[in-house]
Structure 1
Amino acid sequence: MSKHAGGNHRGNAHKKRQPQVAVDEDNPIVQAFRNYSIELTTKHDRHERIVKLSRDITIESKRIIFTLHSIDSRKQNKEKILEEAQKRLQKLIEVNFRAIALELRDQDVYQFRNAYSAGLQEFIEAYTYMEYLSRDDNDESPKSVSDWQALQSVMQYVEDPSKVKDEGASVEEMDVDEEKGGEERQAKKFQFFIDPTEYVLGLSDLTGELMRRCINSLGSGDTDTCMETCSTLQMFYTGYISLNLQRARELWRKITTMRQSVLKAENVCYNVKVRGGEAAIWGSNFDQKLAEDVDEGFY
């Protein structure tokens, strides 16, 4: 067979190809895949909206924590700063978390947990730190913070029928509302679900802020606050270490960081006891890394 014959054969085979058949939209399989596509697209868009809201919560929570660290007993600015922090935290609850709660309404919240986890943990850190600082120093009872159920009770909302379309309602929900012909809709209650696991992780980050408060108090000469904060850190560490959850990698990593914070605070208190009023002047290096062979006391 000649080369030309082979080439003609391939050309004829190319010419005999059938034209592309139009997709039958009435086919049940095609309709099912169209629905899957819409469902996945809707889920992805909702996930992205929640990520943006969580990012805003994270940024604002960090700013609130920074503001709370500016409390100085010498300036007598505690009440003013706490009032500002409470207003800003309340705004996060009423605006950002409400928007996320609307997005997650009638959804499986665990599918979108990673989208808002960072923001929620940062908010819990800021909220509990504000609560800790709000306790009266003259009160003999020990300072405490809200548990996850108390925080959950704050995240309760009531739907405003006049603003449903402006608060993240999906396209399908809007169509259903329009089909009702303007019928009166009863106000529905909903909430932002706080996973207890997220609360435990967020609360563990509070110890880092307490350690910074202990060191800052030394610089301002408030040694009583140093001792009190160190005692609080030790109680936190005792409680977390008793959980004995080595397999929970994220929590165990936070516990390891917590131990470093406790040692730094204890180093501050040690300098206060030994050097007294000269501790702030000596200014020991509290950021020294621990040796690798130090017994962590886990076993």
Structure 2
Amino acid sequence: MPKNQSGGQRNGGPKRRQPAVALDEDNPIILAFTKYSNELTQKHDRHERIVKLSRDITIESKRIIFLLHSIDSRKQNKEKVLEEARQRLNKLIEVNFRAVALELRDQDVYQFRAAYSPGLQEFIEAYTYMEYLCSEDSQNEVKCVSDWQALQAVMQYVEDEPPKPKDEDGNEVDTALSTPAEESLKKFQFFVDPTEYVLGLSDLTGELMRRCINSLGSGDTDACMETCKALQHFYKGYISLNCQRARELWRKITTMRQSVLKAENVCYNVKVRGGEAAKWGATFDQKPADDVDEGFY
């Protein structure tokens, strides 16, 4: 005999459904949560739009870097390649970064930092690599690239002019008598985070290492030596930073160290083998010891 003879209900009968209570749309709590929901939806949509723009910037920046690596002293195509790369980089600044700046306008940029960080770092890598190649032909011994403030000064924008009003016949109305406040256009900018600049600039060393190896293949041993010196200067500056708690920067410095050793191995082959270094290549089979302390472990 079952212990409960009331159909399995402890209270002695089937449960009755409570009638649905109509929500009061004018309730302050309901209004507050509706507002929060709309804000989160708008933030999510803005985040997705910025991610798509950043993806386009990343893809185009990688293509520009690949274009810059096509420079060959034997083909004498440096000026042509640099001019094309400069135009494509300016287009990224005027179109893609302008669109991101419009999305971030009047917003907390650090809330959306993860959305545009990959594209910004890849762009900084391409932009500084183009500047380094441009400075190779200069008379100055020290090669230089733009700092984050110079890059910030480039990414300044002005609102588009509003369309002029038209009359019934479709002719533009003269607005010369409008007030100065109506004529003034608002300015805005894309914020270049100094941290993102440091991370993006550290990726430049990988391209310089490839530049060093490619120069060996084309027989331009002077470029090998100059590029190796630039890599050593970059590495010396980065290991002087206190970055024990900055995991991403520490990982990039470790990769930078590998690039410096590869470039030094190329220069060693050039010094030892001379003109035959290009035939031997730049093999790098040795790995640095784990117990070597460079000041950032």
Q: TM-score, normalised by structure 1?
A: 0.88
Paired-residue identity, %: 76
Q: Which amino acid aligns with 1:264?
A: K
Question: Following TM superposition, by how much is the alpha carbon of 1:70 offset from its aligned partner in structure 2, in angstroms?
Answer: 0.3
Residue aligning to 2:69: 69
Cα deviation, 1:73-124, whole Å, max 9, x if unaligned, reads 1101000000000010001001110000000000000000000000000000
Q: CA 1:188 to 1:4, structure 2 compared with 1: closer, same or farther past 3 Å?
A: same
Contact 1:152 1:193 in 2 (8 A): yes
Task: Considering fraction of residues, name the structure with more helix.
Answer: 1
- Unaligned 5+ segments in structure 1 are 164-182
Q: 1:276 aligns with which of 269, 274, 277?
A: 274
Cα deviation, 1:193-218, whole Å, max 9, x if unaligned, reads 00000000000000000000000000
1:265 aligns with 2:263: yes
Residue aligning to 1:200: 198
Alignment root-mean-square deviation, CA = 2.0
Q: CA 1:242 to 1:13, structure 2 compared with 1: closer, same or farther past 3 Å?
A: same
* Structure-1 separation of matches of 2:19 and 2:183: 53
| Partner SS for 1:19 | coil
* Structure-2 separation of matches of 1:75 and 1:11: 94
| Partner SS for 1:22 | coil
Question: Following TM superposition, by how much is the alpha carbon of 1:135 offset from its aligned partner in structure 2, in angstroms?
Answer: 1.5
State which drifts further: 62-71 or 241-250. 241-250
Contact 1:237 1:262 in 2 (8 A): yes
Q: 1:290 aligns with which of 272, 287, 290?
A: 287
Residue aligning to 1:173: none
- Unaligned 5+ segments in structure 2 are 164-180
Residue aligning to 2:26: 26
Contact 2:61 2:123 in 1 (8 A): yes
Q: Which amino acid aligns with 1:39?
A: E
* Structure-1 separation of matches of 2:9 and 2:147: 81
Contact 1:54 1:116 in 2 (8 A): yes
Question: Following TM superposition, by how much is the alpha carbon of 1:9 offset from its aligned partner in structure 2, in angstroms?
Answer: 7.5
Contact 2:239 2:294 in 1 (8 A): no
Residue aligning to 2:178: none
Question: Following TM superposition, by how much is the alpha carbon of 1:140 offset from its aligned partner in structure 2, in angstroms?
Answer: 3.2
Q: CA 1:6 to 1:234, structure 2 compared with 1: closer, same or farther past 3 Å?
A: same
Residue aligning to 1:37: 37
* Structure-2 separation of matches of 1:229 and 1:136: 9
Cα deviation, 1:127-157, whole Å, max 9, x if unaligned, reads 0000011125251341100000000000000
Contact 1:161 1:186 in 2 (8 A): no
| Partner SS for 1:75 | coil
Residue aligning to 1:171: none
